[in-house]
Amino acid sequence: MLKITNLHANIGDKEILKGINLEVKPGEIHAIMGPNGSGKSTLSSVIAGREDYEITAGHIDFEGEDLSDLDADERAHKGIFLSFQYPVEIPGVTVTNFIKTAINEIRKARGQEPMPANIMLKQMREKMGLLEIDSAFLSRSLNTGFSGGEKKRNEIFQMAMLDPKLAILDETDSGLDIDALRIVSNGVNKLKSEKNAIIVITHYQRLLDYIVPDFVHVLHQGRIVKSGDKSLAHELESKGYDWLKEEAAL
Amino acid sequence: MKTEESYLDEVTASEYKYGFYTDIESDKVPPGLNEDVIRIISAKKGEPQWMTDWRLDAYKQFLKMTEPEWANVHYTKPDLQAISFYSAPKRKKELESLDEVDPELLKTFAKLGISLDEQKRLSGVAMDVVVDSISVKTTFREKLGEMGIIFCSISDAIKDYPELVKKYLGTVVPRSDNFYAALNSAVFTDGSFCYIPKGVRCPMELSTYFRINEAGTGQFERTLLIADEGSYVSYLEGCTAPMRDENQLHAAVVELVALDDAEIKYSTVQNWYPGDKNGKGGVFNFVTKRGICERNAKISWTQVETGSAVTWKYPSCILKGENSVGEFYSVAVTNNYQQADTGTKMIHLGKNTKSTIISKGICAGKSNGSYRGLVKIGPRAENARNFSQCDSLLMGSSCGSHTFPYIETQNKSAKVEHEATTSKIGEDQIFYCKQRGIGEEEAIALIVNGYCKDVLNQLPMEFAVEAQKLLAISLEGSVG
Ligand SMILES: Nc1ncnc2c1ncn2[C@@H]1O[C@H](COP(=O)(O)OP(=O)(O)OP(=O)(O)O)[C@@H](O)[C@H]1O
Ligand SMILES: [Mg+2]
């Protein structure tokens, strides 16, 4: 589904991604871990098509198609979704209006009619139930004045509504309290199928207790320095990153 | 790699979508202004002597005045001697139905996406369409007539309701008020008149579409709206102008009178031709709008301004009676080389008077937008209250926005609050939208509409939808 080959990316003159290789197949869950500043959010932004980054080498293929000529919105139309580490506030635009616009723009790009209001409403109710979201939430301005946890829950609500093929969750667990972490993780698990794939970026093992990864990768200074199965996350939890940094330096 | 700048340029470079010109035969007076021209106008409109004298008197005052220069706008002053001050579509008989309306005019409305018929049916709006200074059609008049509501052209009102017109015309905006108000008083050729009797709640929104349609014709409308004691009316004014490359002068005067316990809601969507991408052409819009509130009365002005090359406009309220309320909600968009100096004046004279000002400026391209607001608290205005919020949204870095709040307080018990913010549409906001599948153009429309929400919410439903479309058109157009 997603195939990243020797990806190098700069911001300004600074090289941040220094040769990433990663392959994600349908039905898989990949976890990406790594120290602060190692390039995890940069990688997710580059996959999503943020224009601030310049790709200097390598390429990203999604379902066999090179993404380099596609704008962020076109990538979203293909089914790529990013849950932001820092969701953005848009004052005056309600959650409902935002999601409605997103769904219908994606449908338009796919040559479909706008979603009938009653069906949209039904889906919203269902997903709100899944994520235990209060309906008053829908009429609030998008992310404006939301608590950290509310923002993250809203990201997953959008994911649930947009039903992407590939979802990248950038530190969705940070800011969530213990109950919310369980609710949101359960939600994500229910959205999981054989057809879609998820990349979770996290610093903590506890999220991976709920969303169990098939593969764990460690990103350090713009490179994947180690890949393994879920036991790698446990190892990191107890040993930290130092041993990997040393290995990488060799 | 596209920068924020470059795509903003791209999306703000839309052509004026409503630019077209309709051929309607018209009957014009030769260009220029003098007493004889005023007499001809008055005669062509079949006015009584008192009206002719009123105009001539205004003209005498006008001759003593000079064009104001304090506004933060720069333009070549229009040559009044080159303007034809009267032009009326040639009309043979009174029109009974839309079938009789000039087909060219109907085509024009079709291009605008505004069919009179549809407007009437869908929204229950009575329309008094002003094309090139004369009313072509007044609808719903009979139904309103049963309730004693008068809604007609100002010319008809001068003939049919001279007592009301004599009593109120020029009482809110005196002929000597300013250069353009004096000019308008001398030469106005049409506009609307509305009277709501005591205790009557006008059951439908009253609406007028103003258009400028004849090359070189200045348009001087005069609107007089009187809400008698305890009455209520919501009035909508909207306009679009055809593309043109010579400047067109528009100097309207609107007077609102809200007697004791009355309420007037006056909403405007203004979309005069703003000039092309290089700042050539476009309408000069110099408007004087003012309302007076008696005891417990309320006037609220809501405006969405997207057009004109140069705009100079300050809808104002004189809060004369105790407990009266004035409100001003405004969205002003400037793009390319547009210049706008708009705002409001809230003059608190009575006790316990309250005013609210919400102004949202949006500047794109190389445009310049200024907010100029005066809050004045008179010596007898015990416990007067004002709240002002003036926000500016900048798109790109070649535009400018300025805020000039003036506060004059002559009563210590007054409370005046002013808040102002300036923001930019963030690249991260646009990326967030795009990541969700919303294209740049749509994303900007969404963010801008969100920013203007407090103002758009004040508009009647159908008008709000139209206003959103206009905002989108004036800022976006075709990407790619
Ligand atoms: N706009 C920018 N300008 C300059 N440097 C940047 C910019 N964006 C990211 N960087 C740098 O790129 C590096 C990688 O940042 P990134 O946000 O991808 O890290 P991360 O792995 O997500 O870290 P964290 O775990 O703290 O979220 C950092 O050193 C960061 O300072
Ligand atoms: Mg990060």
Task: Determine whether the shortest distance from the Cβ of A40 to ligand 1 is under 6 A.
Answer: yes
* pLDDT per position as a tens digit, B260-293: 999 999 998 877 777 777 767 777 888 899 999 9
Distance CA B442, CA B166 (A): 50
- In three-state secondary structure terms, A205 is helix
For residue B231, give both structure tokens.
Answer: 């009455």
Ligand 1 centroid, distance to A85 Cα (angstroms): 12
A16 CB under 6 A from ligand 1? yes
Q: Which domains does chain A have, with CATH numbers?
A: 2-249 (3.40.50.300)
Mean pLDDT computed over every residue of chain B: 79
- Minimal CA separation from B444 to chain A, in Å: 11
How remote is the CA of residue A213 from the centroid of ligand 2, in Å? 19
DSSP B277-332: TTS-S-EEEEEEEEEEE-TT-EEEEEEEE---SEEEE--EEEE-STT-EEEEEEEE
pLDDT in tens, A232-241: 999 998 888 8
Q: How confident is the prediction along chain A (250 residues), in pLDDT tens digits per residue?
A: 999 999 999 999 999 999 999 999 999 999 999 999 999 999 999 999 999 899 999 999 999 999 988 999 999 999 999 999 999 999 999 999 999 999 999 999 999 999 998 999 999 999 999 999 998 889 999 999 999 999 999 999 999 999 999 999 999 999 899 999 999 999 999 999 999 999 999 999 999 999 999 999 999 999 999 999 999 999 998 888 888 888 877 6
For residue B223, what is the enclosing H or E element? strand B222-227
* Contact indicator for B44, B86 with CB cutoff of 8 Å: yes
Which residue type, as a one-letter code, is found at position B313?
Answer: K
Q: Phi-psi bin for B154: left (phi > 0), alpha (psi -120 to 50), beta?
A: alpha
Q: Which two tokens stand for residue B66?
A: 């000079």
Residue A35 DSSP one-character state: -
For atom 18 of ligand 1, which residue has the closest CA? A39
pLDDT (tens digit per residue) in B192-220: 899 999 999 998 778 765 444 444 445 78
Relative to beta strand B192-196, strand B150-153 is antiparallel
What single letter denotes the amino acid at residue B29?
V
A93 lines ligand 1 (CB under 6 A): no
| Residue B300 near residue B458 (C-beta atoms within 8 A) | yes
Round to whole Å and give the CA distance between A99 and A6: 35
Q: How far apart are CA A154 and CA A133, in angstroms?
A: 9
ipTM exceeding 0.90, yes/no: yes
DSSP assignments along A47-97, one per residue? HHT-TTSEEEEEEEEETTEE-TT--HHHHHHTTEEEE-SSPPPEEEEEHHH
Buried-state track B199-218, b at ≥16 Cβ within 10 A, e below 16: ebebebbbbbbbbbbbeebb
Residues A64, A47: Cα–Cα separation, whole Å: 14
Torsion of CA B163, B169, B172, B176, to 10 degrees: -140
B440 interfacial to chain A (CB closer than 8 Å): yes
Q: In whole angstroms, give the CA distance from residue B15 to residue B13.
A: 6
Q: Across the interface, do B449 and A50 touch by the CB < 8 Å criterion?
A: no
Question: Is the sign of the CA dihedral A102, A108, A111, A114 positive or negative?
Answer: positive
CA distance B37 to B22: 26
